[in-house]
Amino acid sequence: MFGKSKKPPAVNSAPTYVGRGMRIEGKIWGMRPIWIDGEVQGTIDSVSEIIIGEFAKVDAIIRAASIKINGFVEGELFASNRIEIMSKGRVHGNITNLAGSLVIHDGGIFEGKCLTATEEKMKKLLPEQLPKLLQEESSDSVKKLDAPESIEDSNKVKAVNRTEEAKV
């Protein structure tokens, strides 16, 4: 019923959005499209599409199925399908993709190396599997609580809990 769906997230669903005025440092992993209009520094991995908006400033290693740039990107880009530099897009760094899958629109700027890779090599360059975001619950991690049988037992439990809190 609720929350028990076994379906993988839809690739063509609403994107995760990093808006103007936001800054993220570190790693971003995702199954859904990611739209960035803020600042990101680190690594971005997605099995879907990454869109770098007009106001974005990104300094990262980006690995995705497809990447569209209409802002500023410095770093390394790896795409298994397509890299598209839009009219206001600026890329300073290296691009690795399949032959014939780089598009630079009028006004788009690319400074760096462009490497063409085979599908087999791209599979090695892109992450095989995204890490699990949440740990699975196990029966060992759940602490069993026994309800007190009487008011006296309840008072003993409270006293023990206060003693344990004092130790911490």
pLDDT of residue 98: 85
Q: Average model confidence (pLDDT) for the chain?
A: 78
CA distance 69 to 82: 11
User: DSSP string spanning 14-65?
Assistant: PPEEE-TT-EEEEEEEESS-EEE-SEEEEEEEESSEEEE-TT-EEEEEEEEE
Q: What is the pLDDT of residue 73?
A: 97
Where does the pLDDT of residue 155 fall: very low under 50, low under 70, confident under 90, or very high at 90 and above?
low
Instruction: State the pLDDT at residue 91.
Output: 97
The alpha carbon of residue 168 and the mean position of all alpha carbons in its chain are separated, in whole angstroms, by 36
Higher pLDDT, 51 or 17: 51
Tens of pLDDT along 27-39? Answer: 998 888 999 999 9
Domain boundaries, the chain: 16-125
